[in-house]
Amino acid sequence: MIAVVDYGAGNVQSVVNALDRIGVQNHLTADAEVIQVADSIIVPGVGAARDTMRNLQQAGLVDPILAFIDSGRPYLGICMGMQALMTESHEHGGQKCLDIVPGVARLLEVDLQVPHMGWNAVDYTATGAEHPLFDGIPNGSEFYFAHSFACFPDDAAWVLGTTDYGMAFPSVVGRGTVLAVQFHPEKSGPNGLRMLWNFTQLAQAGALSDAVEARAD
């Protein structure tokens, strides 16, 4: 069972609808006990880092999510679910985040419209080229973005995919059973649905960490 974490952010129902569409059992929840027994979790959402972290704290979900990640079960962050993984966000003068991925989320400083809204390509890095999350999805495929801040891990090995929007920024990060994307796969047509399917199948089979560890060896 996949727990879709509901912490009061927008766009959460779209993820549930996408999972339903591909026939994947899921449960939209803000219940820490449900998260504790889930096989994998998806943390989606749009919004601001301050609101995200405040809502997670007020719902009593920070420690359960950290414990879930520590257990080695698969996590997929979408948009704010990616930014929340960083050490901190520069939004609103600075906001401490979950500190799973050392690094920062900072404003896209580009000579283009911000927020970055619409379709854009994701190019796989050398680290990400063979990652099972991308199975059946051609390099350079386009996904739907809606964000003003982007994540910059301290260690480039976390970066599985990048996107160019006046500057290159990490749009997919991952290590072991922790994966996150800046775009919205639930709004990205067939390739987005395929990515969600890939995550659910890898999580179900326990192959996600195995594939990453085998490549690291």
Report the distance separating Cα 17 and Cα 39, nearest Å.
19
pLDDT at 8 over 90: no
Rounded mean pLDDT, 142-155:
97
Report the distance separating Cα 95 and Cα 105, nearest Å.
10
Place of tokens 């257990």: 71
Domain containing residue 98: 2-216
For the chain, the domain total comes to 1
Please, which pLDDT band fits residue 154 given cuts at 50, 70 and 90?
very high
Please, which pLDDT band fits residue 206 given cuts at 50, 70 and 90?
low
Kind of pairing, strands 101-107 and 86-89?
parallel
pLDDT for residue 205: 67
Q: Are 128 and 160 in contact (CB under 8 A)?
A: yes
Q: Which of 27, 79, 90, 213 is catalytic?
A: 79
Residue 131 catalytic? no
Residue 184 catalytic? yes
CATH of the domain at 157: 3.40.50.880
Q: Locate 22 and state its tokens.
A: 């591909």
Q: Which residue has the higher pLDDT, 125 or 91?
A: 125
Helix axes 189-205, 12-21, angle to 10 degrees: 80
Interval 47-94: pLDDT, tens: 899 999 999 999 999 999 999 999 999 999 999 999 999 999 998 889
Q: Which of 116, 131, 147, 184 is catalytic?
A: 184
pTM of the model: 0.93
| Cβ-Cβ contacts under 8 Å for 161 (sequence gap 6 or more) | 122, 123, 124, 125, 128, 134, 170, 171, 172, 181
- C-alpha angle 96/99/101, rounded to 5°? 130
Residue 186 catalytic? yes
Q: Which of 97, 142, 186, 213 is catalytic?
A: 186
